Chain A
């Protein structure tokens, strides 16, 4: 085994990974997702598993810490969230699912068993479709089939202290609702795995049922993989997408080498669970068999019985799903590129950004509608895209000012008006940029309680584009700029065409002097004339 270990450590991360044609990878995923319900699964204590650092064991009820005599009390908000996910995944919700006890002994599992769903899971079947166009997989399209969704409780957290060989147990996470989603082993390459994880993560965020963060453990991905149908290995403790990918690469190479060496019948005979230590997979334990868990129906919890009408109602209440949004944004009238569409349709983790995907998308759609209503059929679809996705978001990030607050000063109607002014060339692009930044900065500084008056601001700052530019005045401005350039060589270079770039510099100076009110093209034409540009 040491022989293999040395070999992999030296290769992972240094060589480009490739699957080998004679060694077929087969993968399935098990994803545990914490639901962000207000309260826990079988009690009403607050669901805030990340508070442990400051206040361990603060959000724990008698049941969460398994005091004898306490009884579980099902939180139906978790059932609602699970139904949302099941419906979005085309999974069939059971009309009667049940909770079961899975027994195993661990310090952060105070009951001595985990309440999960073994015999009758919450839903069965379903799929996620990956496509080349939206998800970048190599195949045109691929269905990843879902085996089932089950609802279960999370465990507590243990922090191992090596110095005194003890573990500190925090039960804030104990009894937090989880959904375990299990796929069939439909994955045959890494790109598919990566795309699926991203898509699933975005889906749970989009449905508002989880933060979907891998880093915090709100979403945990286990990979079941085998090569050439030898026994499967389960990979656990994979804290982020990069670790998942690297662990699969490592494990693939490890198994390929075992098969090549002729030891597969011995070394890949039994299932095992392996962890990822940052550079290699290491054996954690042999996989328990089902009988070891001594499953039994939980006699203290009712069956979950949902009517078809309830499932239908949840389905109808779902937001439009991300793939549909992407297709819609990439079609007329929006005609967005995939990259821009994803900014509006894909949820980031939200930790350091000034908006959430839902409010940004709504803002875009509403502004686009109002802008096209103002300008009619001559609308330019790129204008809202550039000004919202690039200018507005760029400024919000720079100012660290949330979109929700910016919307008070600049609701869609005002933003559409700004776009209309740019569209009609009543304000130059440069002036509009200044104005937008000023509005946002002012809104951040003072508590703006009403939308800004754009016309008034433009008039106050004299930002309106000069419609009739006096040619003589323009010529004088350009001459003044040229006179301030202390490099005849540079001017000669512009004239001959050897150095075209500095012309942009001169135009920029003109825009600065005119505060953006004169179109750059007019400056460029005048400079060319004055310098006798031959190109």
Chain B
């Protein structure tokens, strides 16, 4: 990933140089706070969003349906999604380290120690309910946070239920 970022930097700035040594914390702070490049400009460089690269109306409609969202503001979504796709295209041009395991695409510790039998049994045994997480049955009433509820159930109107 570091290699990739370095290349973004190089590609955008064409040249790079090592500046003078920082003398104090204030200089570092000032340096970090001063923008040297713009993400927006970076994205627009080379391949701007054009009407041809925007996702089609039918794709937007399909995605909205799959996500259970109202089918409206299509043009606005085309613009937004078009930019996101362009960003992904840019990412794909980067020279990332091929050795990175895709399974590491997570916030958790990447290299888990393999569990032994005793550890597995111990973890399976560990079943402490945390009231702070609402895990104790009846310790909180979720439906109270809902706009609409009935006899302890959340209420959903049919229009929202239908997968179209």
- Do A and B form a real pair? yes
Give the interface of A toward B (CB within 8 A): 38-39, 43-46, 48, 55-63, 65, 67, 70, 75-77, 79-80, 83, 95-96, 98, 103-107, 112, 119-120, 158-160, 165-171, 285, 292, 294, 297-303, 305-307, 309-310, 312-314
Is A58 touching B133 in the complex (CB atoms < 8 A)? no
User: For residue B160, which residues in chain A have a CB less than 8 angstroms away from its CB?
Assistant: 107
Q: Which of B128, B134, B137, B153 has the most CB of A within 10 A?
A: B153
| Contact status A166-B129, CB under 8 Å | no
- The dominant DSSP class at the A interface is loop
B66→A292 contact, CB < 8 A: yes
Instruction: Choose among B105, B127, B156 the residue that contacts A299 (Cβ–Cβ < 8 A).
Output: B105
Segment at the interface with A among B8-16, B30-38, B114-122: B114-122
A340 to B33, CA, bound (A): 81
Q: Is the CB of B66 within 8 A of A103?
A: yes
CB of B92, distance to nearest CB on chain A (Å): 16
B138 close to A310 (CB less than 8 A): no
Q: Tell me the bound Cα distance from A309 to B136 in angstroms.
A: 34
A372 to B41, CA, bound (A): 89
List 18 extra interface pairs beyond A44-B129, A76-B124, A302-B112, CB under 8 A: A39-B129, A44-B135, A45-B129, A55-B138, A62-B140, A63-B133, A75-B127, A76-B123, A105-B68, A158-B161, A171-B154, A297-B102, A300-B106, A303-B108, A306-B120, A312-B117, A313-B121, A314-B120
Known contacts A61-B135, A299-B106, A303-B103; A168/B119 CB under 8 A: no
* The 5 A-B residue pairs with the shortest CB-CB distance in the complex, in nearest-first order: A313-B117, A105-B68, A168-B153, A76-B123, A307-B114
A98 in complex: contacting residue of B103, B115, B141, B150, CB < 8 Å? B103
Which interface class (under 10, 10 to 19, 20 to 34, 35 or more) fits B? Answer: 35 or more
A300/B107 in contact, CB under 8 A: yes
For this complex, 11 residue pairs linking A to B, each with C-beta atoms less than 8 Å apart, are: A38-B127, A39-B127, A46-B129, A80-B124, A165-B158, A167-B156, A168-B153, A297-B106, A299-B108, A302-B108, A305-B114
Separation of A76 and B145 alpha carbons in the complex (Å): 30
> Across the interface, do A56 and B163 meet the contact criterion of CB distance under 8 Å?
no
Contacting residues, chain A, for B141 (C-beta < 8 A): 57
Enumerate chain B residues within 8 angstroms of A167, measured Cβ to Cβ: 155-158, 161
Task: From B108, B140, B160, name the one whose CB has the most chain A CB atoms within 10 angstroms.
Answer: B108
Contact A79 B120 (CB under 8 A): yes
B46 within 8 A of A: no
Contact in complex: B66, A105 (CB < 8 Å): yes
Interface string of B68-109 (1 = CB under 8 A from A): 100000000000000000000000000000000011011111
What are the residues of chain B within 8 A of A80 when measuring CB–CB? 120-121, 124
Contact A297 B105 (CB under 8 A): yes
Nearest B residue (CB) for A302:
B108
State in angstroms the CA–CA spacing of A287 and B157 once bound together: 25
Q: Is the CB of A77 within 8 A of B127?
A: yes
* Contact between chains at A305 and B137 (CB < 8 Å): no
- Bound-state Cα–Cα, A104 to B62, Å: 12
